[in-house]
Structure formats: structure tokens, C-alpha cells
Chain A
Amino acid sequence: MAVSGMRGLSVFISDIRNCQNKEQERARVDKELANIRTRFKSERGMTAYEKKKYVWKMLYVYMLGYDVDFGHVEAIALISAQKYAEKQVGYVVTACLLNENNEFLRMVINTIRNDIVSRNETFQCLALTMVANVGGKEFSESLAGDVQKLLISSACRSLVRKKAALCLLRLFRKNPDVVNVEGWSDRMSQLLDERDLGVLTAVMSLLIALVAASPDGYWNCVPKCVRILERLARSQDIPQEYTYYGIPSPWLQYLGSADFAIREELALKAAILAEKFAPDLSWYVDVILQLIEKAGDFVSDDIWYRVVQFVTNNDDLQPYAAGQALMYIAKPAVHETMVKASGYLLGEFGHLLARQPGCSPKEIFGAIHEKFSTVSTTTKALLLSSYVKLLMHTTNPDRELVEQVFAVFRQYQRFVDAEVQQRAVEYLALGRRGHTMADILAEMPKFPERESALLKKAEDVEDTADMSAAVRLRSQQPSTAIVISEQRPAAVPNGGYPAGRQRSMDQYELNGPPARTTSAPPPSTGAVDLLDLMGTPAIEAAPVESTSPPPAVAPAAPAPVDPFALAIYEPPQPVQPTGSIAEWFRKLSVGPNGILYEDPFLQIGVKSDYRAHQGKMALFLGNKHTGPLTNIQLVVGQVAGLRMQSSPAPQAIPPRAQIQVPIDILCVQPPREVPTLDCGYSNGQQMVTVKLRLPVVLGKFLVPQQLPMKEFLPRWNAATGPPLKLQEVLRNVKPLPMAAFEELLTSLKIGVIPGMDPNKNNVVAASALYAQSGNTLCLIRIETDPTDRTQLRLTVASQDGAATSAMREYIVSNIVDKAREPTVGPSAAEAAAAAPQSAAGTNDILAELAGLVM
């Protein structure tokens, strides 16, 4: 991102942002407007840069709702400028401020036309954009011809031509006479041969408007439109960037025939939407079944499992769902997913339909079995379960039906797939025993409430994207569907049957939905069921505790539902960082991005960007843990001179997720210390707190400067002594060779000026310090002792005492080796105060003069 480059504008916007109320804002705006007015009127004239700046200010003020009519002329005048940057401002601002009836626009029509017919593409684009945005009869009369020429010109790049198409559309809407149907329809037809989809989309918008106005005039375009549709929809001849969830260019009036192109993602999202906003559950079932019918290829198993789960848990819904399932499966060509969903629903609830005409178990069996030969073995296995259930749920099954079903079982007793074979053999045996075995094949018990597997899946998909904290929080909202079913207490129907038998049934259905969706024990069987553990390898959803929104206060011990938890519970070890906090801080002090802190649970990364006295920092808090981190606390300590504004951090970070906390930084005055960051979180076992330092060091507001000697010396001499010029001798300095020492200074954003000091053991440097209170040029001279690299003499000078002293501390803290510093004795600051300033100062200047003469 380039800096806006206009300091005055930034300052003005900052001022407005700092206003506490509307009155203050109005006062500030009025002051600025008065200023702008005076400047515009002044005889002296303005530089192009100033004009640009003031016109942007006007747009900003206009956006806030203030009247800036007086400045319209100035904005328009910029259109005639020759420099791109000014012209651009003129065009953009004019398009925002003025409407088509503004008489000033007439003044620049010629300029606009010149830009449109010019060979300069960027000027053409600017002009077209403005004309399209403003519109107007006057424009359309004088410019439409030129715009048409641009549109059909083969010499223009597609960027220009698509803008020309939309521009013409706008002019046509204002004044339909600008387009002459006879001559233009052939042109339109030629334009449809365009291969660039951007141009084609724009041309299509134009065509739609033209056709709407004169339906008969453009018949010659029809065959080409059909060909384009075919190309896009059937051949999928379309760049990836133009697809919306796999549907080519929704801008081309959403192609009805594109249904088959819906991808799994869209299906999943549709299913979630349906679940979230379902007015009632039968509607939900309808929608999902329709979805399966239309886009079966892309409906993952999770989606229909969810339907099964709802239907099972809602008694009222069961007959309806069974009826719908029968209707769909009876259709001639049915997608396999539909066969699975319908087959399962009919197996479970088909008997509820028995009283309705055409829904006898025999007829249901017939409908399902018609599809049996066409489906995969997995589905066949599922259907076998449906058959036996259909049979057993009927009190007095038709003899013929029994024979038919048994015939199927017998046929598959020797089937090559072991699963199908096993089911066939066992169901045959069960069936022969007759109704005594009905309990085993009773309806499935209700599912325990849990997070929607679909939502979870969607979250997994979204995890890959870097989401802002707000979006993440929202995605955790429980679905309304769950709430609905929660109101019905889950109970095992038919008074409950022995849990062991129930489990054994589950085992038979390894590949069907029951095995996957009933992996958690039903509510009536509280104890841990070993069969359950063995029989259900495919547990599809993580335990609810880890994904549901965490409680406000995390429990000290793991959730009480786990009976083994107490046995293995031990006091947690203190959490240690995985590296050196000081080293991370040091790296961040000299670079924009990096790690601030990391431990086994949490990682805090920093990205920052500084412009002059302003900075933006983003803290990236990543949860490395498999459970949520709760009670997140982030407190930024305030230090004098810096204004730090951070957005509140969310309460919790979901597992494996990352949240972002932006911090705005403003350097009001040269700061003398570094802000702290108190960070705390709970990992479910313990509360971890850590005190960190934010790498907002003085260097972030420094810009190295290179000054020639003749500019350096007068400034150096102008600062005569404390507090403007500070000098001291430092000991216990990290011993570094001269080159490394200069490198260190450069990394601290202090610009070493080579060759300024003739003594190669001395360094002269300069850096500009940016603060809201003013920018200060700081001059630095360091004289090292070649015989003892651990000591040196530092002199800092500037025209601002605060800047001098902040700079001094910054340098001292970075070059003095803390480890070597004696713990007792005068601190560096005291040493500075004690140093004989005046005498040293004189010597210094003499030494310098001597250097200069040489």
C-alpha cells in the first residue's frame, strides 16, 4: 500500500476522528472549509499538490454530510490538469460531488472528449468512468458517438472497451436516441464474438438494456447469445475467477440450466442455510430432499445423515418424511444419495404410512427394490437393513412380501462383498425367527443432541481462511434447528429395550448411517458401553465439549462427564514459553513482523506497519491447543507520549483457530519507554498470565537521514548543551567491530553518514523522529575507543529536549550490554547528568572543526 502521500489530509482526518462529539466535528470542519475557501480564493495560486489535497479534503467533508458546493469548480478544474494524479482526483471527486445537471460540467465537456479520443488509455478510463457515473443528457449528446467508437475499436485494450460498453449503457438510459438500432444491431452482434469475459459481461448488460427498449431490433444477436450460454454452461469454458461457487458468471442472469454445476460446497451451504432458517422442520426435509434430487452428486453423506437425525428425533415429522421419501424414490431416475436417504427413511418409518393408499409395505418394497440393482454395494447393504426393518415393523406381513424379501436375502448370501453377504445371512436368520426378533429391529433411538455436523464441517472449511474475530464468533451460533429439537426431551421410544441388543444391531450396520450417527450412547444407557467403542470406528463428530461455545469461567478440572477424569487428574505444570521472549522482542524491534510470544497453547504473532508518527499493529493470537482457550485477557499498558488503541479481544479462541486484535498507535511525543502487554488465558486446566513488552520502540518512528556536511554542522552547533545536546561516556558496551557497530545503528533506523568524521573510529549519524507534536531531526555522534571496545562517548543533539533525551535512551538501551552492567553504581542516566557537559561540548566542536578543515 502506498502512503496516501498527503500529510495535511491525514492530519485533518485524524483530527476529525479525535472529535468527541458532533459539535467539535462541525467546528473542525468549518475551520477547514474556511481555510480551503481562503486558499481557493487567494491570488497567490496553489501548487498542484495543494489543490489535490484540498479537493480530497472536500470529498471527505462531503461524505460526512457537509456542504461543499463552493469547491465544485476547483474539483472540475483538476480534470484539465495534465498530470495523471491531479486529473484522477478531478475525475473521481467530480463524479462523487456533482450531478448531471451541474452547469459547471459543461465547461469541461471538451476536455473530457479530448481524453476519450486521446491515445492515453488511463485518461480514457478516467473519463469513461466519470461519464458513466454522472450520466446526463448533455454528456450523452456530445460524447455517445466517441464512446461507441471506443467500444468497437479493435485497437483498444479490453479494459477500455468494457468501460466504454457500460458508459454507453448509462448514456443510452439517459437518452435512448444516442443509439440508432439499424446501424448498431450489427455492431452488437459483432461484439458478442468477444472472448474476453469482462468485456462480454459489460456488452451483455448493454444488450439487455437495448433489447428491453426495442425488442425486435436485435434478433440477429440471438444465435450468438445462445452459443455463449452453451459455451459457459455446458462446456464450462470459463476462467476460474468468473465463477461463483462453480456457477459461471451469475451476472449473466443466473443460468437455470447450470444446476448441475453446483458444487458440494454450495450444497453444504444451502443445507446449513436451510437448517438455520427453517420455518418448520417439514420445510427443512423438503428442501434437503429437493437439494439431493437436484444436486445429488454434491450432497455429502453428512447432509442426509442430518435429515435422518431430525426425522428420528421428531415423531410428528416421521410420517411426512416417509411419504416424501417414497415420492422421490418412486421417480424414474433417482440419484444414489436419494436412494440412500429415502431407503433409510422408509425402512425406519415406512410402516407409518401403511394406512395410506399406495403405501403398503409391499408397494414400498417394490419402489425401493426397483433401484436395488443400480446402486453400489454400500447402498445395497443399507437397503438390506431397510428391507428387514420394513418386514419386521409390519405386524402381519403379506406372505408375498416375506417371500420377496427372503428371496433377496438368499440371493445375496453368497455375494462377493462381505458386508452385504453378512447382512443377508443374518437378516435371513432373524427373519425366520419371526416376530420375536422385532425388538432388535425396532426404530432407532433418538439421537443425543449435538452440534450440527454440517456446521462443524463448514467451520472446518472456513478454518483454512484467516477470519476476523467477529466472523469467527458468529460462526459458532447454534442453529435454530438444534434449539427446536432440544425442546423435545429425548427419550427412547417404546419404553426402551436392552442396551446390549441395541448395540449389536448397530454393529451390523457399519456402513449405514446408524453406525455413524449413534456413536454416542443413547441417553438411557448412561454407562460406557464397550460394544459401542468396538463397534463404531467411524465417530464423525468430536465431543461436544470441545466445539461448543466455551463457558464463561473455565472449570479447573476437565468436564465431569468423563468418569476417568478424576483418576488421571494431576496439577498442571506451569506453562513455559517455547523460546526467548527477549530475543523475539529484539527481532520485532527491528522488523515489522514476527513472533512476540509462544507457548504450547498460544502463539502471539505481530504484524505492524508504521507511517511517520502513526502505526498499525495486529496481534495474531493462535490457539495451538485442541481445546478452546478461554478468558482471554489482553491489556495494553499506556506510556507517556504514545496513544495506543486496541479493539477488545474476544473472550475465547476456538481450537486451532487464530484471531486478530488490531492496535492503532499514535506517537504524540517521543516516548521514553515501551508499552507493556498483559496477556492471560485459561487452557481449561489453569490460568496462564504473562507480561510482555510490545515492540513499539522509538525506532518505529525514526527515518534515517543523509545530510551533507554543510547542513549538518550548523545544526550540530545550534544545540549548545543540555537539554538539547546530551553527551556522556558509556561503559559496558557490547564490543563490536566498527562495521558491525554501524550495521547495528542502521538496524535501529539511525542513518550513519559515511565519511563525515575523518576519524574512522567515530560515527556520525542522523535520523528524523516523527511525532504528532512535531518532527525533529536528531544528530548523533559516537566516538569509540579502538583500545577498549566496551566504552564509547555518545553525543545526541536536536532542537527538542524531549527528542534528544528519548533518542539518547533509545541508543543506550540498545548498545549497552545489560549483562555486563554492574548492578550497583550510578545508572547510565545519572552518569550523563554528572558528566561535565560544557567542557566536553567545547572540545567536541573544536575536534569537529579540525576534522572539517581536513
Chain B
Amino acid sequence: MIKAVLIVNNHGKPRLTKFYERISPEKQQEVIRASFLVLSQRPPNVCGFVEDDAVFGKNIKIVYRHFATLYFIFLVDKSESELGILDLIQVFVGTLDKCFENVCELDLTFNLNKVHTILNEIVMGGQVLETNSVEISKALEDINRLERMPEPLPTQLKGPIRR
């Protein structure tokens, strides 16, 4: 089972946190900090799997990938395959990339809602929901259409315009 999905930037700032198991907000922050501490000290040429019983408890392993300014971190239990999760990260990032066209940290920061929506189409309740990027994109397109419907694109000025 996937216990948590985190996106953390190079400075340790969380950009997405999603926990699939019940833990207190304080503990969540602890996990985010600990994961970042462990990963930020790893050299770039080592593998993307970490197990550290002292930090995360028994049975938990971290599978991660580091892209540019972001760590994509999956905390999973022993029943998950590391390579499978790596592929899942690839699917996740690939989908983000498709949605944001050359995704960068800013996209994720300012569009937290989108990122959550995308993740919800890939992982659900700690289980892999879909790995087919075509299916995921299809589901997201449906959602996009719905989101846009009630709010037509602004043709007139919005917000406080000094007039």
C-alpha cells in the first residue's frame, strides 16, 4: 500500500502532501521533514529506494525521484514493488507534464488543486488506480471540461481595476 505521496522542493518546502493513512498533522510534518533530510543528503548517483527503520518505522520504504528542483516521494509498504512505484512516479510526472506543458515547480505551487486532482486519478486510497497515461488524461479532460463550464473565460476585466 502507498502510505503517502509527497512533493518537496530542494529547500524542503512541501509542494504536495497526501497521506493515505491516518496520522496526526504533527506526525505528517515530521515525516515530510525526515524524508527530505534523508533524501537531500543522498548523492545523485544512488538508487531511488531508501529504507530507514529508525526514521520511518519497519516495513516502510521510500521510493523517490529527483527532477530539477523537486523530489517526488512515495512512502510505501513492503508489498509494493520499487520498480512499479518508480514507474508510477514516471506516470505521475508525465501526466503533470502533459497538463502543464513542461511542468515546473511554480505550476505545482500555484495549482495545488490541479495536482491533487491528477494524483486522485492515479492513486486512490493508497492503491494504484491507473497507470495508463491515456486513461488518466481522458479522465482529467472530463474534469477540466466540467470545471470550465460554470465559469466562462474572462473576457472583461476582473479584479480590482482602478478606473
What residue in chain B is nearest A711 (Cβ atoms)? B163
A83 contacts which chain B residues (CB < 8 A)? Answer: 150
Q: Are B159 and A7 in contact (CB under 8 A)?
A: yes
A616 within 8 A of B: yes
- Say yes or no for A523: interface residue by CB 8 A criterion: no
User: A477 is contacted by which of B45, B100, B126, B156 (Cβ under 8 Å)?
Assistant: B45
Do A89 and B113 touch (CB < 8 A)?
A: yes
Residue of B nearest to A129 (CB): B120
With A and B bound together, what is the CA distance between A607 and B102 in angstroms?
A: 10
A96 vs B16: C-alpha distance in the bound complex, in angstroms? 11
The answer to whether A774 has its CB under 8 Å from any CB of chain B is: yes
Chain B contacts with A in 111-144, Cβ cutoff 8 A: 111-114, 116-117, 120, 124-135, 139, 142-144
Interface-centre pick from A2, A63, A100 (highest chain B CB count, 10 A)? A63
Query: Closest CB of chain B to A420's CB: distance in Å?
Result: 42
Interface residues on A, range: 35 or more
Are B125 and A244 interface neighbours, CB within 8 A? no
Contact B25 A17 (CB under 8 A): no
Does B52 sit within 8 A of A, measured CB to CB? no
Chain B residue numbers with a CB within 8 Å of A198 are 129-130, 132, 135
Question: A705 with B104: in contact, given A197-B132, A469-B68 (CB under 8 Å)?
Answer: no
Nearest CB of chain B from residue A765's CB, rounded to whole Å: 15
A4, B44: Cβ atoms closer than 8 Å: no
Residues B160 and A163 in contact, CB atoms below 8 Å apart:
no
* A796-820, CB < 8 A from B: 799-800
Which residue from A2, A65, A100, A703 sits with its C-beta under 8 Å from B157? A703
User: Interface segment, B34-42, B54-62, B81-89?
Assistant: B81-89
In angstroms, how far is the closest chain B Cβ from the Cβ of A10?
6
Q: With an 8 A cutoff between CB atoms, is A775 at the interface?
A: yes
CB < 8 Å: which of B25, B107, B151 contacts A1? B107
Q: Is A133 an interface residue when CB atoms closer than 8 A count as contact?
A: yes
The segment from A26-34, A54-62, A532-540 that touches chain B is: A54-62
Distance (Å) between the CB of B4 and the closest chain A CB?
Answer: 11
Alpha-carbon distance A470/B146, docked complex (angstroms): 37
Interface residue range, chain B:
35 or more
A685 to B109, CA, bound (A): 43
Report the nearest A residue to B69, measured CB to CB.
A647
Q: Is A122 an interface residue (CB 8 A)?
A: yes
Interface pair A250/B109, CB less than 8 Å apart: no
B85 CB to nearest chain A CB (Å) = 9
Q: Which of B66, B99, B155, B157 has the most CB atoms of chain A within a 10 A radius of its CB?
A: B157
- Provide the residues of chain B in CB contact with A784, threshold 8 Å: none
Chain B 52-97 residues near chain A, CB threshold 8 A: 66-69, 81, 83-84, 87
Contact status of A251 and B84, CB under 8 A, knowing A616-B104, A775-B160? yes
A125 to B, closest residue via Cβ? B139
- For A607, the chain B residues whose CB sits under 8 A away are 102
Give every chain A residue within 8 A of B29 (Cβ-Cβ): 65
| Bound CA–CA A135/B160 (angstroms) | 43
Report the bound CA distance from A662 to B126 in whole Å. Answer: 33
A474: contacting residue among B16, B45, B106, B124, CB under 8 A: B45
Distance of A92 Cα from B124 Cα, bound (Å)? 12
- Looking at the complex, which one of A101, A133, A775, A777 makes contact with B125 (CB distance below 8 Å)? A133
Query: With A84-B149, A198-B132, A244-B83 known to touch, is A169 a contact of B125 (CB < 8 Å)?
Result: yes
Per the bound structure, the CA–CA distance linking A469 and B15 in Å amounts to 21
Q: A1-B111, A132-B125, A133-B20 are in contact. Are A67 and B25 (CB under 8 A)?
A: yes
Query: A715–B163 contact, CB under 8 A?
Result: yes
Q: How near does chain A come to B91, taking the closest CB pair, in angstroms? A: 9
Q: Is the CB of A239 within 8 A of B132?
A: yes
* A216-258 with Cβ < 8 A to chain B: 239, 241-242, 244, 249-251, 254
- Shortest distance between the CB of B112 and any CB in chain A (Å): 6
**Once the chains bind, are B162 and A775 in contact (CB under 8 Å)?**
yes
Kindly provide the distance from the CB of B72 to the nearest chain A CB, expressed in whole angstroms.
Answer: 13
Residues of the A chain whose Cβ atoms lie less than 8 Å from the Cβ of B106: 616, 664
Closest Cβ–Cβ distance, residue B160 to chain A (whole Å):
7
Interface flags for A96-131 (1: CB within 8 Å of B; 0: not) read 100111000000000000000000001001001100
The CA of A777 and the CA of B161, in the complex, are separated in Å by 7
B83 and A241 contacting across the interface, CB-CB below 8 Å: no
**Chain A residues in 8 Å Cβ range of B150:** 83-85
Question: B68 is contacted by which of A101, A125, A468, A800 (Cβ under 8 Å)?
Answer: A468
A530 interface hit (Cβ, 8 Å): no
A477 to B15, CA, bound (A): 29
A100: chain B residues within 8 A (beta carbon): 22
A422 at the interface (CB under 8 A from B): no
Q: Which residues of A contact B128 (CB under 8 A)?
A: 201, 205, 251
> In the complex, what residues of A have CB within 8 A of residue B16's CB?
63
Give every chain A residue within 8 A of B112 (Cβ-Cβ). Answer: 56, 59-60, 63
Q: How far is the CA of A67 from the CA of B25 in the complex (A)?
A: 8
Residue on B nearest A69 in the bound complex, by CB: B25
Q: Residue-by-residue, is A1-13 near B (CB-CB < 8 Å gives 1, otherwise 0)?
A: 1101101011001
A342 at the interface (CB under 8 A from B): no
Q: Look across to chain A and name the residue whose beta carbon is closest to the beta carbon of B100.
A: A1
- CB pair A166–B127 under 8 Å, yes or no, is yes
Contact with A along B1-33 (1 / 0, CB 8 A): 000000000000111111110100100010010
Docked pose: A249 CA to B81 CA in angstroms = 11
**Given A163-B124, A166-B124: A777 and B67 interface contact (C-beta under 8 Å):** no
| Chain A residues, Cβ within 8 Å of B109 | 13, 17
A4 and B148 contacting across the interface, CB-CB below 8 Å:
no
Alpha-carbon gap, A59 to B15, bound state (A): 11
Tell me if A276 is interfacial: C-beta within 8 Å of chain B: yes
Pick the contact of A618: B102, B114, B120, B161 (CB < 8 A).
B102
Q: Give the distance in Å from the alpha carbon of A92 to the alpha carbon of B111 in the complex.
A: 13
Given contacts A4-B113, A7-B158, contact A242 B131 (CB under 8 A): yes
Residue of B nearest to A168 (CB): B125
B130 to A776, Cβ gap below 8 A? no
A634-674, CB under 8 A of B: which get 1 and which 0? 00000000000001000000000000101010000000000
Question: Is there a chain B Cβ closer than 8 Å to A371's Cβ?
Answer: no
* B143 contact set on A, CB distance < 8 A: 88, 122
Q: Which of A9, A239, A277 contacts B47 (CB 8 A)?
A: A277
Given A2-B144, A84-B146, verify A774-B160 contact (CB < 8 Å). yes
Q: Which residues in B have their C-beta under 8 angstroms from that of A527?
A: none
Docked CA distance A768–B163 (Å): 10
Chain B residues positioned under 8 Å from A62 (CB to CB): 25
A835 on interface, CB distance cutoff 8 Å = no
In the bound complex, do residue B157 and residue A244 qualify as a contact, i.e. CB atoms below 8 Å apart? no
* A799 partner residues in chain B, CB cutoff 8 A: 162-163
Question: Shortest Cβ distance from A638 into chain B, in angstroms?
Answer: 19
CB distance from A207 to the nearest CB of B (A): 12
A162 contacts B by Cβ under 8 Å: yes
Q: How far is the CA of A89 from the CA of B143 in the complex (A)?
A: 12
Distance to closest chain A CB from B158 (angstroms): 7
B22–A99 contact, CB under 8 A? yes
Say how far A287's CB is from chain B's closest CB, in angstroms. Answer: 15
Residue of A nearest to B23 (CB): A99
Tell me if A170 and B126 are in contact (CB < 8 A). Answer: yes
Shortest Cβ distance from residue B151 to the other chain A in the assembled complex, whole angstroms: 6
Nearest Cβ on chain B to A533's Cβ, whole angstroms = 36
- CB contacts (< 8 Å) of B126 on chain A: these are 170
Please tell me if A471 contacts chain B, counting CB pairs below 8 Å. Answer: yes
Residues of B close to A159: CB separation below 8 A: 135, 139
Any B CB within 8 A of the CB of A64: yes
The 4 closest A-B pairs by CB, nearest first: A132-B125, A170-B125, A241-B132, A250-B84
Supplied contacts A67-B25, A242-B132, A607-B102, 13 more A-B pairs, CB within 8 Å: A4-B113, A63-B14, A63-B112, A83-B150, A101-B22, A273-B47, A474-B44, A660-B102, A705-B157, A715-B163, A774-B160, A776-B161, A777-B162
What are 22 A-B interface contacts by the 8 Å CB criterion?
A1-B99, A2-B144, A2-B147, A4-B111, A17-B109, A85-B147, A85-B150, A92-B120, A96-B116, A125-B139, A129-B124, A129-B125, A135-B125, A159-B139, A170-B127, A244-B83, A254-B84, A471-B68, A647-B68, A706-B155, A774-B162, A775-B159
